[in-house]
Structure 1
Amino acid sequence: MTQSTAAGPIGIFDSGFGGLTVFREIKDALPRYDYIYLGDNARVPYGTRSFETVYEFTKECVFKLFELGCNLVILACNTASAKALRSIQQNDLPPGKKVLGVIRPTTESIDQFTRSNAVGVLATQGTVLSESYKIEINKFHPQIKVYQHACPLWVPLVENNEIDNPATAYLVKQDIEEMLRQSKHIDTLILACTHYPLLLPIIKRYVPEQVLVLSQGQLIAKSLADYLIRHPEVETACSKGAKTAFYTTDDAENFEEKAKIFFKEAVVASHIRVQPCNG
């Protein structure tokens, strides 16, 4: 980043509502910064889409956040982090702009939590197929064995506010049992989707007491705080007015209604259009 970069809000992007669970933790940990949250709710879910489609959609939304003045954008979406982050970082970033994901903060620190070196990853199908967690964990900690299980129904259950439905508990129980059946040594489960923390009370009901369940929000907030300390040129390009704005590519009223479930407070949202990037 250059000295001439005008300070702007930190952008938080997700394909839908799940990133609000991460944003909540970031805002609580770093309240003095300005933030813009953008949810691509009109095109959710990303988890079942191709790498190319996720890359294009993510890039369009990231560039919209750049257009709104953000110099730093957090992909608060595991699927976007798995399928789009590296390509955007390597090929698309304008001078003075940074994009970070949610996978590395979790994978870097996972050795602090597991004692058996056997870790389970619960995620969307797209994240599982990308093998991003396996690759990243083994890059930092080759001694850790990583097991994965896709839970494709969890996101729609959360988004449709079916958390208290008995059928949801039954599906969660089935997925947990399938996950743990892969190895009796698993002692840590990563909730590798930002929607999944809302299912935590149900998940814990079916996870043995000795198995730790990790949500990403706090790990990501801590990692971002450390990143800003280590990169003062990025930190100074983040404006500090404690202001927050919310945008959605879908209906703003519907976003406001559902966002309360994830963000734990009422929000005011605006509809926004994103356009294909040139080139």
Structure 2
Amino acid sequence: MSERPVIGVFDSGFGGLTVLRELLKHLPGADFVYLGDTAHLPYGSKSQAMITRYTHAAIFELVSHGAQLVVIACNTASALALPSLQASAPVPLVGVIGPGAEAAAAIAPAGGTAVVLATEATVASHAYAQACAAAGLSAVEKACPLFVPLVEEGWIDGSITEQIAEVYLREALSLTEEMPAAIVLGCTHYPLLRPLLGRVVERIAGNVPIVDSAEATARRTALVLPDAVADTGVEPAIRFFATDSAAKFARLGPSFLGRAIEHVETVDLDG
């Protein structure tokens, strides 16, 4: 096992690579193991019991490869599986929903409102609304189902994506009587749309800050594992695992991670 801290990162696919990208920035003293459950995505169509089963298996798979902490870089798994697994997990777990809500609350006035943009499954769970309420913040949740396929097609800019984003944002703003204090990106795909969303938000709502749950999660992880914060000057080692379509993972993953992915190993969570 490496002498450096090892952080495991789990997602239902490769969207969680945006979280890994932020972890690499904030915890340069760690090595990483990433597992994408590409055989069973999307998690949004699965039952809570099935999502919990696969998340549990992924945690133990990552621990078997040396992970001393696991980041659940999947909003659906964070909402539906993390609460029941937290106490019994063999290592500390960090989800993406609590940190995102707390980051929004930190910049919002008391009693303010956040607009949460997320997938239909995450919105249906109301996990962000609950997390925001716990942080003293009201929340309006808006499902944006077209964002994920647009990102995966590489359409992160351009007039079509911008028009769709404007429709979603105007619909979200119509649900609140006041201008939101923050807009939370509640899906791991959405950070790739942040520049475009920033333009649209400024045009229709003015200067409303956008909170990236991936960045907030990395900051939370740094608090849990402070030994990994110092930059030792050594390039972090990263191992990538997928449960299916390793070639597709290697092809699409770099646009999320911001760096090349040389090799993806295949594992089975159904055993």
TM-score (norm 1): 0.85
Partner of 2:118: 123
Q: Measured at CA, do residues 276 and 256 of structure 1 come closer, stay the same or move farther in structure 2, by a change above 3 Å?
A: closer
Structure 1: gaps (5+ residues):
1-5
- Residues 120 and 189, structure 1, Cα contact 8 Å, conserved in 2: yes
The one-letter code matched in structure 1 to 2:200 is: Y
Identity of counterpart residues, as a percentage?
36
Q: In 2, distance between residues paired with 1:273 and 1:160?
A: 26
Number of residue-to-residue matches in the alignment: 260
Paired residue secondary structure (2:86): helix
Paired residue secondary structure (2:43): coil
The one-letter code matched in structure 2 to 1:110 is: A
Of 238, 241, 245, the match for 2:239 = 245
Tell me how far 1:241 sits from its aligned partner: 7.6
Partner of 1:176: 169
- Residues 166 and 200, structure 2, Cα contact 8 Å, conserved in 1: yes
Q: In 2, distance between residues paired with 1:121 and 1:268?
A: 34
Paired residue secondary structure (1:152): coil
Partner of 1:64: 61
Matched, 1:45 2:42: yes
- The runs of at least 4 consecutive aligned structure 1 residues that moved more than 6 Å come to none
Q: Over aligned residues, Cα RMSD in angstroms?
A: 2.2
The one-letter code matched in structure 1 to 2:93 is: V
- Residues 10 and 16, structure 2, Cα contact 8 Å, conserved in 1: yes
1:1-279 paired onto structure 2 within 5 Å: 9-90=6-87, 92-94=88-90, 97-115=91-109, 117-141=112-136, 144-164=137-157, 166-185=159-178, 186-207=180-201, 208-229=205-226, 242-276=236-270
The one-letter code matched in structure 2 to 1:75 is: I
Q: In 2, distance between residues paired with 1:77 and 1:59?
A: 13
TM-score (norm 2): 0.88
The one-letter code matched in structure 1 to 2:18 is: T
- Residues 10 and 33, structure 1, Cα contact 8 Å, conserved in 2: yes
The one-letter code matched in structure 1 to 2:30 is: Y
Structure 2: gaps (5+ residues):
none
Paired residue secondary structure (2:115): strand
Describe the superposition over 1:72-126 as per-residue Cα deviations: whole angstroms up to 9, x where unpaired. Answer: 1100111110011011113x424xx222211121222322212360111111111
Q: In 2, distance between residues paired with 1:198 and 1:241?
A: 24
- Residues 49 and 126, structure 1, Cα contact 8 Å, conserved in 2: no
Q: Measured at CA, do residues 275 and 17 of structure 1 come closer, stay the same or move farther in structure 2, by a change above 3 Å?
A: closer
- Residues 251 and 271, structure 1, Cα contact 8 Å, conserved in 2: no
